[in-house]
Each structure stands twice: as C-alpha cells, then as structure tokens.
Structure 1
Amino acid sequence: MAVQDVAGARAAAAGGADRLELCAALAGTGGLTPSTGMVAGVADALRGTGVGVHVLVRPRAGGFVFGTDEVDVQVRDVRAVLDAGADGVVVGALTADGRVDAEALAALVAAAGGADVTFHRAIDQVLDPVAALDALAGAGVRRVLTSGGAARAGDALDVLAALAARGGELGVEVMAGGGVRVDDVPALAATGVHAVHLSARRTVAADGGPGGGGAHGYDVTDPDLVAATRAALDSGADA
C-alpha cells in the first residue's frame, strides 16, 4: 500500500495492509523521496504493528536514467531513510538503452546494507522484464513492483503471471501495481503474484493560494478503500 504521511500509514495498517511504501508527491510525479522526518514519524507510528515501511528513493520526476550526481544523492538517501527507521527501500535505475543500470543498482543495494530492496516500476520500461528479473535477483533485489508493462496492471495478467513464475524460481517477490482498483484484485491475485499494491487514496479539497499549489487539494489514504482491498484479497484466498 502506498502512503504519503503518518495518518495514511496508520489508516493503511489498521485496514489490514501488510507492507507500506512511503513516498511524497505521488499524484503529481509518481512518487519522490519523502523527508527523513516523515520516515521517522511513520516508523514510530508503525512500531509494534508488524507492518513494514519501505521508502521510495527517487530524486525527481521523469525517467529513470540517472547521472552520477543523482545516483550519489540516492545512495545518501538510502542510508538516511534506513537510519530514520525504514525497513527497506524502493529504488530503480535504467541505462539510456532501456536496461537495468547494474552499476547504479549495485551502489544502491550496497548502501542498503542488507535491508530489503524493492525495484520499482522502472522495470515496466524494460524491453524484456522477465529476463530482467535474473539481473535483479543477482544484484540482491528482494522484490519487484510492476504493472506488467501496461498502464494498468489489470491489463497485463499474462505478463504478470510470467513474472510471478520466474520470480518464484529466483526468490524474487513480484508485486502487481499500477492503476489497481479493488475489483482488479481477484484477477491479479490469481496470476500468482506475491502481493498487490495500490494507493487507496482520495483527494481533499484545500486552496493553497498562488504560493501553495493552487486549489488542487491534497491526497489522503482512504481507510474504506484499504479495508475493501483487504477483503478482496482475503476472499480470493478463501476461494
């Protein structure tokens, strides 16, 4: 479950989420690195719940081809968010020709120092994501978040099934995510993926004025959507 603040983390945990991805600016950018203060606050809120917090480390919006300075910033951020209490990190880097950036990934995994590393939806821009799982497993990646290369994970069930099968052989968990709605959950779970990932958010109206981002409001985690997703997963498991 993707969340952006302490209240969202509490709501997701109470609604039955097993693992949280903490990020910032999700709606406008697809997610960026949150502040270390936010990481510490969420980690404190989840302590004792058994729900892990995995922090997105991404320095900017746009593509996933990063320069040396950008990789260095991400290495620093990986260390900082883990020091702040995160259980793992969510990262991704590609080469200009659309392959996993092995050098950048190695630096990020090393910075994680044995903590869980998830490779995010950068994999959806790789030409052969199933083959890419081998490189990710070899680099020490624990899990992968993917839509199967489609705009919505529900539109790539065959690819997700292939990814889940190969991930099972390699010991890499595959999480289905990307445009997921509650009614997608049973079909996604049936592909054999190890987890289903969504944001379960709604927008609260709030006018920040000309200096605060205008009247677009901000996103919050909807506890009813969290609960509905948990129920859909549990229903599928019982079928």
Structure 2
Amino acid sequence: MSTLTGAPQLELAVEDAEGVRLAASIGAARVELCAALAETDGITPSIGTIERACRVGLPVHVLVRPRPGNFTYTDEELEVLERDVEAALDAGAAGVVVGVLAADGGPDVPALRHLSEVARRRHPAAEVTFHRAFDAALAEGMDPAEALARLERAGVNRVLTSGGSPDCTAGLPMLERLVELGRNHAPSVQIMAGGGVRLELMPQLVHSGIHAVHTSARGLDPATGTRARGADPLLAAGMAAALRKAA
C-alpha cells in the first residue's frame, strides 16, 4: 500500500500523451488519464491512448468508468470494468481509478475488492484510486468514517474527494476531517483533494494534511467563458510551484 508520509503529491488529470508530457515537465507525481473530461467529467480512454500515454515515462493511472452517470453498475457493466482494468494495466498503466457504489449509497466493498485483486494479479504494484463517487456517497448521507473504512477493507490506495462538496473550497472542513478519520479508520488510504482546486487554495490544502492534490489545471476559454478543454501550461506550472512552496 502507499506511504502516507511526505509533502502532498500533485496529480494532473489529462486526456493524452501531450498532457502526460506537460505533467512531467512541471514535476507532477503521476497523471489520471481519462477521455471526454469536459463533456462527461471523464470516462475510460481508448487502449491506443493509454499505450501512447504510458510511453512518456510518468506513472499513468487510468480512469475506468464505462459511462457517465451514477456509480451503481449492473453485472454486465462490472464485467466491463474488470476487463478494462486488465487492459489498462496490460497497456502499461501504473494504476487504475474506479468507483462503485452499493445499494446503500456507500462504497461497494465486494466489487472494489474484486477489482483491486484483478489489478494486482496483472501488476502486483498496481495502485487503486477511488474517484469522486466518494463525494456522491457523502452527499447521500454516508458516514465518512464508514466510507473510509470500506475503502481500507477493499484494498484501495487513495480516495479522490472534494469533501462531499461541489469544490474543495467549500469542502475544506470535511477534507480536514477525512484526514483525521483516516488515521483511525483507513490508515493505508491517502486523501487526495480534487474538484475546483484553485491556485490560491494550495496553502490551505497543505495545512489540512491531505496527501495529494488532483487538478486538471484548465483555465477559462476566453471565447466561451467555460472551462478550456486542456490544461493551461502556465496555470499547471503555477499550481505545482504553489504546492511545493506551501509544503
């Protein structure tokens, strides 16, 4: 399992090999590789995209999410998740990013444990991240200590969360609480802050005790006023520098 010591690591969300090269240039620890980030908040990228991204040399963690929408899956969809986990690791990924919720709205331990075991059969050192389905669980009233304990039992390495809020600014108090709860209920699970991460928030995130920061570093498109499709290199570099300075 992952160590929980040291300064927070930076993870950049990207869609292609160019994004991985940008992440490497600013000193990010790894990337989350996904497709259709702007349109769907991310779904599973193609095998060709994964293979090219993994050639860059930075650890690639592949989002395995077969469709947009909720995180409760049919048996057939769980089979797709399993095959995509295997394929991503066979293509060279260092880890996978998944999220499955049970009928009670919390993390689905049997499904997650199975996916974790599938991943580590393919690559013993593979890391498993639970994505922002965790925030959906918190929003449904799931006890955060129980949610973290489930991830620990399922063999998950880290959880990506905005503290159950729309963004990390609003979720900062819960992020701090999750760090505290994790020490007792999920000591092997890293808390990775993600969702609306802003440059000026870095000192507060570091102070909260989180173990990693996740961002797409996408600025606003001046033509449309909406989030740009790809990372802004200057913003990404600024975020990396701010994180190092705050740490």
Q: TM-score, normalised by structure 1?
A: 0.88
1:155 maps to which of 157, 160, 170:
170
Matched-pair contact (CA < 8 Å) for 1:16–1:226:
no
Q: Note the C-alpha offset of 1:43.
A: 0.6
Larger relative contact order (C-alpha < 8 A, sep ≥ 6)? 2
Report the residue type matching 1:157 in the other structure. Answer: L
Aligned to 1:36: 47
Report the residue type matching 1:185 in the other structure. Answer: M
C-alpha distance in 1, partners of 2:111/2:20? 29
Q: Note the C-alpha offset of 1:62.
A: 0.4
Matched-pair contact (CA < 8 Å) for 1:203–1:219:
no
Q: Note the C-alpha offset of 1:203.
A: 7.1
Q: Note the C-alpha offset of 1:218.
A: 7.0
Q: Note the C-alpha offset of 1:78.
A: 0.2
Aligned to 2:179: 164
**3-state SS, counterpart of residue 21 of structure 1:** strand
Write out aligned runs for 1:131-210 (5 A).
Answer: 131-169=146-184, 170-202=187-219
Number of residue pairs matched by the alignment: 224
Aligned to 2:6: none
Report the residue type matching 1:122 in the other structure. Answer: A
Aligned to 1:80: 87
Report the residue type matching 2:110 in the other structure. Answer: E
Matched-pair contact (CA < 8 Å) for 1:23–1:31:
yes
Aligned to 2:7: none
Q: Note the C-alpha offset of 1:167.
A: 2.6
Unaligned runs of 5+ in 1: 206-215
Cα deviation code 1:18-72 (max 9, x no counterpart): 1110000111111100011111101101x2xxx3111100000001000000000
Cα deviation code 1:191-214 (max 9, x no counterpart): 000011110125779xxxxxxxxx
C-alpha distance in 2, partners of 1:132/1:112? 21
Q: Measured at CA, do residues 2 and 217 of structure 1 come closer, stay the same or move farther in structure 2, by a change above 3 Å?
A: closer
Aligned to 1:57: 64
Report the residue type matching 1:106 in the other structure. Answer: R
Aligned to 2:236: 226
Matched-pair contact (CA < 8 Å) for 1:203–1:217:
yes
Aligned to 2:246: 236
Matched-pair contact (CA < 8 Å) for 1:123–1:129:
no
Q: Note the C-alpha offset of 1:121.
A: 0.6
Q: Measured at CA, do residues 219 and 97 of structure 1 come closer, stay the same or move farther in structure 2, by a change above 3 Å?
A: same
**3-state SS, counterpart of residue 243 of structure 2:** helix
Matched-pair contact (CA < 8 Å) for 2:218–2:227:
no
**3-state SS, counterpart of residue 68 of structure 2:** coil
**3-state SS, counterpart of residue 174 of structure 1:** strand
Matched-pair contact (CA < 8 Å) for 2:89–2:119:
yes
**3-state SS, counterpart of residue 105 of structure 2:** coil
Report the residue type matching 1:175 in the other structure. Answer: M
C-alpha distance in 1, partners of 2:240/2:183? 23
Q: Note the C-alpha offset of 1:184.
A: 1.4
C-alpha distance in 1, partners of 2:109/2:183? 22
**3-state SS, counterpart of residue 89 of structure 1:** strand
Q: Note the C-alpha offset of 1:130.
A: 2.9
Q: TM-score, normalised by structure 2?
A: 0.86
Provide runs of 4+ in structure 1 moved above 3 Å.
Answer: 202-205
C-alpha distance in 2, partners of 1:36/1:140? 25
